[in-house]
A and B are shown apart, each in its own frame.
Chain A
Amino acid sequence: MKTENSQHDTDDVIIEIMGMHKWYGPFHVLKDINLTVRKGERIVICGPSGSGKSTMIRCINRLEEHQKGQIIVEGTELTSDLKNIERIRREVGMVFQHFNLFPHLSVLDNLTLAPIWVRKMPKKEAIDKAMYYLERVKIPEQAKKYPGQLSGGQQQRVAIARSLCMSPKVMLFDEPTSALDPEMIKEVLDVMVELAEEGMTMLCVTHEMGFAKTVADCVVFMDGGQIIERNDPETFFNHPQHERTKLFLSQVLQH
């Protein structure tokens, strides 16, 4: 494993995971995870199915609880303290594989609910903000529709906009394009690329290697609940260090 970045600027660190372990019952799913994410960094996480990628990023906003080690987000350590957890969740956006939009609310209400009830934003301001982000993801005309009336690609873009409405400091993506038909993947990736270009701090679990090559500052490869390798994309794809990485890359890059 590559050692951590040498110019250690602690002010810039947004997420710090140190010696983190997690178990599902007796099953040791994450083993000694160490990861530092700096402001503006774009990190792509890849690895075979079942290697613990989702579990790791879900620990960052405490959708899963870790049992050993430390996770510090924005200077706050994640413990069972509910107040801390809610504070961190406000600052960390998450986009899911299956969108998880709220089907009983219109697109606009999906976007304004959390700003109004969590950030206590005035309704008018929340709507303006929602419309701004809907423009950004290029579907302002769908604001009054319900999620069930949108295509998968549109739904995922709404989900991204919903997270952005909370003005998060970090965005977590868990395979955001895996549930989409091929022709819709690009529209979602385009939005993510734009977001990356604007300097959003991002952690993406994805198998879109093209995306990793163009936007990632760093690619993390996981297998068997461990981080096997962490490198800049150029080195990662052209000179993988580890046998398991080589095997994985040969499988995903074949087509």
Chain B
Amino acid sequence: MSSLDNNAQYPVGEHPNWEPPVSNVGVIGWMKHNLFSSRLNTILTLLAIYLLYTVIPPVVQWAILDADWVGSSKADCTGEGACWVYINVWWKQIMYGRYPDAELWRVQTAYVLGLVGLIPLMIPNFPKKKWISAYLLLLFPFMAYVLFSGDNLGLKLVETPLWGGLFLTLVIAITGIVASLPLGILLALGRRSNMPVIKTLCILFIEFWRGVPLITVLFMASVMFPLFLPQGVNFDQLLRALIGVALFAAAYMAEVVRGGLQAIPKGQYEAAQALGLSYWKTTIFIIMPQALKLVIPGIVNVFIALFKDTTLVSIIGLFDFLGMIQLVNTNPDWLSFAIEGYVFAAVIFWFFCFGMSRYSQHLEKKLHTGH
């Protein structure tokens, strides 16, 4: 039947649609096409399989099969595999630093309040996303601040030097992320402005922060900055680091956003102007949404870099996630478990960064409108 069909002569212009040839579809088709399409490809595929074979089993053996999971001291680790007991024992320090035990619920409450806003945002088509974003950007930071530092609403004051661990990392990273995007946008607009004064100021600002290593920025913030303050004025160490990180990231963000702005065709500005839209309305409704969409990968890149760069605050005496792990590593009782600590840190960092990366890909797809 089908062979008859294939040989049939169709009247001109009447050829029906055929199914694609079988060798191009299905699992076999896919493997043939992607893994063994040429001799070189076949060699590479086999090499990759061999590499995975040599690497994965020992890692699984060490991290899972031979690992010790339960216990309360070093003695519970029998030696062969990883000693996850270490993470267990130091969990609270790694997560919260020296935040007082009795007050930990405040941090946890803030986490919950944050997740309550964040999770619906990740769910496609969830209603009222605008309000949820407003809650996350305006109300939540305020609530989190009150909860974290206290001295208000009957909450006990918890000084920032007690903050630490993953909690501190998140505080710095999220503040940096939330502050650097709007700042970066304004700087990018300023750099493209027709007004020479604004333009020059923005260029100076951006080039200054981009030209200086973050370590230097942090040192300056913690050591030099107080020298310029009048006697007796006290400026929180963490706050100084936060400002340093945010301004540093904003300079990079500005250049990423500027790249997006440059890719917007002149016709978009002209069409908006011809309709009578002012500069700000054109920017907010027409230009920025398109420019930001174009540079989502670049923006997330800055976020990820910022997230990892927060580990540098340990050099000015703040004990972030990694800093806390390093501190624990110096404990005489736990000297030989640095590897577990670093592996744990790597895994946690990887999950956060990978999560951001995936979310950005999801956003890109969602915002794609077919052009």
Give chain A's interface residues, CB within 8 Å of chain B: 61, 63, 82, 86-87, 89-90, 92-94, 96, 98, 100-104, 113-114, 117-118, 146-149, 159, 162-163, 166
Contact in complex: B369, A96 (CB < 8 Å): no
CB distance from B277 to the nearest CB of A (A): 6
Contact in complex: A96, B271 (CB < 8 Å): yes
Q: Which residue in chain B gives the minimum CB-CB distance to A146? A: B369
The answer, yes or no, to whether B338 is at the interface (CB within 8 Å) is no
Q: Which residue in chain A gives the minimum CB-CB distance to B279? A: A82
- From B270, B276, B281, B367, give the contact of A96 (CB < 8 A): B270
Question: Other than the known A89-B274, A146-B371, what 10 A-B pairs have Cβ atoms closer than 8 Å?
Answer: A86-B276, A96-B270, A96-B271, A100-B268, A102-B268, A103-B290, A114-B275, A149-B369, A162-B275, A166-B276
Contact in complex: B371, A100 (CB < 8 Å): no
**What are 22 A-B interface contacts by the 8 Å CB criterion?**
A61-B273, A63-B273, A63-B274, A87-B276, A89-B275, A90-B275, A92-B274, A94-B271, A100-B265, A100-B268, A100-B271, A102-B290, A103-B369, A113-B277, A114-B277, A117-B281, A117-B285, A118-B276, A146-B371, A147-B371, A148-B370, A149-B370
Q: Nearest 7 pairs between A and B by C-beta?
A: A148-B371, A148-B370, A100-B271, A114-B275, A100-B267, A90-B276, A146-B369
CA distance A104 to B265 in the complex (A): 13
Q: Which residue in chain A gives the minimum CB-CB distance to B286? A: A102
* B286 CB contacts on chain A under 8 angstroms: 102
Contact in complex: A61, B271 (CB < 8 Å): no
CA distance A162 to B277 in the complex (A): 13
- From B267, B268, B278, B290, give the contact of A86 (CB < 8 A): B278
The answer, yes or no, to whether B196 is at the interface (CB within 8 Å) is no
Secondary structure at the B interface, as helix, strand, loop or mixed, is helix
Contact in complex: B270, A89 (CB < 8 Å): no
* B residues 252-282 in Cβ contact with A at 8 Å: 265, 267-268, 270-278, 281
The answer, yes or no, to whether B289 is at the interface (CB within 8 Å) is yes
CA distance A205 to B274 in the complex (A): 16
The answer, yes or no, to whether B210 is at the interface (CB within 8 Å) is no
Contact in complex: A89, B276 (CB < 8 Å): yes
The answer, yes or no, to whether B74 is at the interface (CB within 8 Å) is no
CA distance A94 to B274 in the complex (A): 6
Q: Which residue in chain B gives the minimum CB-CB distance to A147? A: B371
- From B272, B278, B369, give the contact of A148 (CB < 8 A): B369
Contact in complex: B267, A118 (CB < 8 Å): no
Contact in complex: A104, B281 (CB < 8 Å): no
Contact in complex: B277, A117 (CB < 8 Å): yes
Q: Which residue in chain A gives the minimum CB-CB distance to B371? A: A148
Q: Which residue in chain B gives the minimum CB-CB distance to A116? A: B285
Contact in complex: B281, A118 (CB < 8 Å): yes
* A82 CB contacts on chain B under 8 angstroms: 278
* B residues 213-272 in Cβ contact with A at 8 Å: 265, 267-268, 270-272
The answer, yes or no, to whether B199 is at the interface (CB within 8 Å) is no
Contact in complex: A100, B285 (CB < 8 Å): no
- From B265, B268, B274, B277, give the contact of A93 (CB < 8 A): B274
* A96 CB contacts on chain B under 8 angstroms: 267, 270-271
The answer, yes or no, to whether B293 is at the interface (CB within 8 Å) is yes
Q: Which residue in chain A gives the minimum CB-CB distance to B292? A: A104
* B370 CB contacts on chain A under 8 angstroms: 146, 148-149
* B293 CB contacts on chain A under 8 angstroms: 104
Contact bitstring B332-371, A, C-beta under 8 A = 1, else 0: 0000000000000000000000000000000000010111
* A101 CB contacts on chain B under 8 angstroms: 271
Contact in complex: B274, A61 (CB < 8 Å): yes
Most buried by A among B275, B276, B290: B275
Most buried by A among B265, B272, B274, B370: B274
Contact in complex: B271, A102 (CB < 8 Å): yes
CA distance A61 to B275 in the complex (A): 10
* B276 CB contacts on chain A under 8 angstroms: 86-87, 89-90, 114, 118, 166
Contact in complex: A113, B285 (CB < 8 Å): yes
Contact in complex: A104, B275 (CB < 8 Å): no
CA distance A162 to B272 in the complex (A): 11
* A89 CB contacts on chain B under 8 angstroms: 273-276
* A86 CB contacts on chain B under 8 angstroms: 276, 278
CB distance from B223 to the nearest CB of A (A): 46
